[in-house]
Amino acid sequence: MAASPLQVGLAGLGTVGAGVIRLLAANADLVAARAGRPIAVTAVSARDRHRSRGVELNQFAWEDDATRLATRADVDLVVELVGGADGPALTLARATLGAGKPLVTANKAMLAHHGLELATLAEETGAALRFEAAVAGGIPVIKGLREGAAANRLARVYGILNGTCNYILSRMAAEGLEFADVLADAQAQGYAEADPSFDIDGVDAAHKLALLSALAFGTPPDLTKIDSEGIRRVRLADVRQAEALGYEVRLVGIAERVGNSLAGRVVPSLVPRAHPLASVTGPLNAVVAEGDFVGRLLFVGAGAGAGPTASAVVADLIAIARGETGPAFSTPAAQLEPLPAAGPAERSGRFYLRLRVADRPGVLADLTAILRDSGVSIESLNQPAGGADGTALVVMVTHECAETAARAAVVRMAALSAVAEPPLLMPLLTTEE
Ligand SMILES: NC(=O)c1ccc[n+]([C@@H]2O[C@H](COP(=O)([O-])OP(=O)(O)OC[C@H]3O[C@@H](n4cnc5c(N)ncnc54)[C@H](OP(=O)(O)O)[C@@H]3O)[C@@H](O)[C@H]2O)c1
């Protein structure tokens, strides 16, 4: 006798939701064979019932209120692709897991804010909570950490977690364009949102890093433990100076254990050309994880888009159809232990420092005196040709120093009348990282 289908209620019929419907139609036989039973959408919900979405919806029941999907008798499992940390997505997630039904979501914002609550609820009711699509789109990094690397203590997990930022930085480098010009073009072409702040200010990458940290270190997802800084202040000159030093500029999210605390940050960084992250260009994402037995793992692929994200959503559906179980964040929710946040005082490294200063004698001496007084020594200093506006760029690379010392020096430099705009400080990664 043929196995009964896994009946799916799908909330959100935008980029990812429509992609899921397309994938399930195109690969129905293969998905059924691998899942051990057909996977069939039975009911859907979105805001506008009449919007054309390029997919046939007539065969599905429609719910104006997505929450009702959770209690329908013909829905075994809910896929939430609405988005947003709170609001209808969270109401639906609570209703679904509360009803003891599995939930698949791509919603990193919701999980970064409410992951512990939802994982706890899932375990209480015995329902699966899966979110492969929430981090790095199509890349199976959640499965990789949750299952493949489950036997390891992870020292560090980091990577390029936002495709929009990587696309912008790559195009700045390849085409010699300034940040604002690439952003405007990316928006015109639909690669960047009309309000791009979540992406370019590092918020989206911080959401994903919070989820990776939870998986890697057995902590509850906690955004307050992650310092984030985006790429708005990176100029073409920084990209070119980095290249001259043998580095590429990338927005990197890094989470690591420092003693008994957790250091998490999203920051534009100089990545050495020999590092695997340096060759990750365009909208791709990449995640590196370091385990005590497995060593360094590298995951690379498409971090967004209808096809890759739908691929990750349906992989979760197949896993649930197969009966795969286990805690959402690998460690049971009740055993997720918060770690104190490591601040800049516990971090050290080499730093790239760029300043725009008045092009007059004595300024350089003032800057180097501040660094000396802050206990920061300079490994290299470059002064590219001055601008026509009477200012000049000064680019320095520090020796290894405490981040607090470098930051304190930057604050003092910014207060000098000769410093024309806030200095930019970026950490340098090493090839060992
Ligand atoms: N796009 C990607 O490449 C990508 C990658 C990874 C993860 N994600 C995540 O996937 C989720 C969906 O992203 P998306 O890009 O597909 O978003 P989207 O294109 O904006 O689609 C959102 C969908 O949610 C529907 N919706 C909004 N409010 C609703 C409500 N109250 N009840 C029911 N439906 C509602 C919208 O309906 P209408 O169409 O009628 O307006 C729309 O169909 C987000 O959490 C996002 O972070 C996206």
pLDDT in tens, 195-230: 899 999 999 999 999 999 999 999 999 999 999 999
**Is the model's pLDDT at 432 over the cut of 80?**
no
Asked if residues 160 and 276 have their Cβ atoms less than 8 Å apart, the reply is no
Asked if residues 85 and 16 have their Cβ atoms less than 8 Å apart, the reply is no
Residue 270 Cα distances to 65, 155, 179, 227, 376, angstroms: 47, 21, 16, 17, 18
Residue 47 CB: number of other CB atoms within 10 A?
Answer: 12
Asked if residues 182 and 172 have their Cβ atoms less than 8 Å apart, the reply is yes
**Is the model's pLDDT at 385 over the cut of 80?**
no
Choosing from 101, 143, 208, 225, the catalytic residue is: 208
Reduced to 3 states, what is the DSSP secondary structure of residue 381? strand
- How large is the greatest C-alpha to C-alpha distance in the chain, in angstroms? 87
> Residue 359 corresponds to which tokens in the numbers above?
């092009």
CA atoms within 13 A on the CB side of 320: 29
**Is the model's pLDDT at 1 over the cut of 70?**
no
> Is 208 an active-site residue?
yes
**Is the model's pLDDT at 347 over the cut of 90?**
no
Instruction: Render pLDDT for 66-87 as a digit per residue (tens, 0 to 9).
Output: 999 999 999 999 999 999 999 9
Asked if residues 162 and 229 have their Cβ atoms less than 8 Å apart, the reply is no
134 alpha carbon to ligand 1 midpoint, in Å? 12
Residue range 285-302: mean pLDDT, rounded: 97
The verdict on pTM exceeding 0.85 is: yes
**Closest residue CA from atom 20 of ligand 1:** 14
Asked if residues 286 and 300 have their Cβ atoms less than 8 Å apart, the reply is yes
Q: Helices 108-125 & 203-217, crossing angle to 10 degrees?
A: 30
**CA-CA distance, 11 to 42, in Å (whole number)?**
11
Cβ < 6 Å from ligand 1: which residues? 11-17, 45-48, 51, 66, 81-83, 88, 106-108, 133, 137, 304-305, 309
User: Per-residue confidence at 163, pLDDT binned at 50, 70, 90?
Assistant: very high
Task: Supply the DSSP string of 143-188, one letter for each residue.
Answer: HIIIIITTTS-EEEEEEE--HHHHHHHHHHHHHT--HHHHHHHHHH
Q: What is the pLDDT of residue 190?
A: 78
**Closest residue CA from atom 39 of ligand 1:** 14
Instruction: Render pLDDT for 330-339 as a digit per residue (tens, 0 to 9).
Output: 999 999 999 9
40 alpha carbon to ligand 1 midpoint, in Å? 20
Residue range 259-275: mean pLDDT, rounded: 95
Residue range 260-288: mean pLDDT, rounded: 96
Tokens 């699509």 belong to residue: 133
Q: For 100-104, 256-260, 319-323, 406-410, which range has the lowest pLDDT when averaged over its residues?
A: 256-260
The strand pair at 247-258 and 261-272 is best described as: antiparallel
Q: Which among 10, 45, 47 is the best mutation to test ligand 1's pocket, defined by most ligand atoms within 8 Å of the CB?
A: 47
142 alpha carbon to ligand 1 midpoint, in Å? 21
Which atom of ligand 1 approaches the CA of 48 most closely? 40
Which atom of ligand 1 approaches the CA of 107 most closely? 45
**CA-CA distance, 119 to 328, in Å (whole number)?**
6
For the chain, what is the mean pLDDT? 95
**Is the model's pLDDT at 44 over the cut of 70?**
yes
Dihedral of alpha carbons 180, 186, 192, 194, sign: positive
User: Per-residue confidence at 192, pLDDT binned at 50, 70, 90?
Assistant: confident
195 alpha carbon to ligand 1 midpoint, in Å? 15
Asked if residues 346 and 263 have their Cβ atoms less than 8 Å apart, the reply is yes
228 alpha carbon to ligand 1 midpoint, in Å? 24
